[in-house]
Structure 1
Amino acid sequence: MATTTTKLILAAALVATAGCAKKRPDVLPPAPGGTEQVDPNAGQTGAVGTGVVPGSREDFMRSVSSDTVRFGLDMYDIDAEARAILDTQAQWLQRYPNVRITIEGHCDERGTREYNLALGDRRANAAKNYLAARGIDAGRITTISYGKERPAALGSDEASYAQNRRAVTVTIG
């Protein structure tokens, strides 16, 4: 009888702890590259021979120094290099006032999921606040944090970590 009671207690404990396990979501949001971009200037043409539509994602990528701002470990402050990148983005956004953007906050794989989501949010909002301070309407800017869920570089070394600590600006039309 003691063995049966012990087995029942162990089985109940296993069932209870299995219910507490973290579960990965079945479906993640689509990656930025998989979304179709809306053309805010349909029918217009870019510079002769380029085929790039003014105000499009391609025009943004061609016109700015980068769509990505990098951060130090556990940091979300905007340094001189980040300011230079965001200044070029602000200039482009001022030329195309109908284009909205999303700033994605990302982290490296170290730290808990919750910590990295919060840090990614602070990184995205730091970039948003800088652009707003440069005259871009904050209503045109949305932010999202992916934490460590969408690494740019796979690997567990400092070079990979450095590439993953970032805020990425994505035009949405």
Structure 2
Amino acid sequence: MQFKPYARSLAVALSLALVAGCSSTGGTQDGSMDGTRDGSGASSTGVSDGRASGSGYGGTAGASGQQADGRIPQQRTIYFEFDSDRIRTEFEPVLAANARYLRENGNARVVLQGHTDERGTREYNMALGERRARSVEQFLSVQGVSPSQVEVVSYGEERPAARGQNEEAFAQNRRVVFAY
């Protein structure tokens, strides 16, 4: 029968496509709240308050999180309210520090990674993650950052920073991460 070799080739091709589609190409997910490995910018509630608390890189950080020596700002994650893409005022200094870094380093590029908690449909969460990242992109644009330096990606609920079915975990997952 001629069908058997064709079916076997098709099964191999589909298996390879499935494996390639499931592989991860993103960065690491260390679960820290502020984009640093040690999580030093997190408050006792588990949600970062938008202020830098130490440099983490050997330089000194100002109140806005900007490194004094021109390095990438320490705090690279901001958080959102439930079902919202509005930037919270407490994170504006974080955004301003990242905008300043990008303006002063014209060759620097950033990917704004939009995330959501697991509530809502997959499609809705992908759209919400994109809206969150676009609101950050718009803030950066108003601050004078070149659009060619910024890329927007939405991961929706697919890359949680925290596992769990409680408000603390949900709050950690509603975020935009600056990936330099």
Per the alignment, in what secondary structure is the counterpart of residue 32 of structure 1?
Answer: coil
Hey, what's the Cα distance between the residues in 2 that align with 1:134 and 1:170? 18
Counterpart in the other structure of 2:27? 32
The reply to whether residue 132 of structure 1 matches residue 141 of structure 2 is yes
Hey, what's the Cα distance between the residues in 1 that align with 2:81 and 2:95? 17
Hey, what's the Cα distance between the residues in 2 that align with 1:144 and 1:28? 17
What amino acid maps onto 1:115 in structure 2?
Y
Count of paired positions: 125
Counterpart in the other structure of 1:114? 123
Counterpart in the other structure of 1:96? 105
Higher relative contact order (CA 8 A, sep 6+): 1
Per the alignment, in what secondary structure is the counterpart of residue 172 of structure 2?
Answer: helix
- Give yes or no for contact 2:102–2:149 (8 Å, CA) kept in 1: no
Q: Deviations over 1:28-69 (max 9, x none)?
A: 4423139xxxxxxxxxxxxxxx59xxxxxxx31xx34x1001
Comparing both structures, which one devotes a greater share of its residues to helix? 1
**More deviation, 76-85/134-143:** 76-85
TM-score by length of 1: 0.66
Q: Which runs of 5+ in 2 are unaligned?
A: 1-17, 30-57, 60-70
The runs of 4+ residues in structure 1 deviating greater than 4 Å are none
Hey, what's the Cα distance between the residues in 1 that align with 2:161 and 2:80? 14
Which structure has the greater CA radius of gyration? 1
What is the CA RMSD across the aligned residues, in angstroms?
A: 2.3
TM-score by length of 2: 0.64
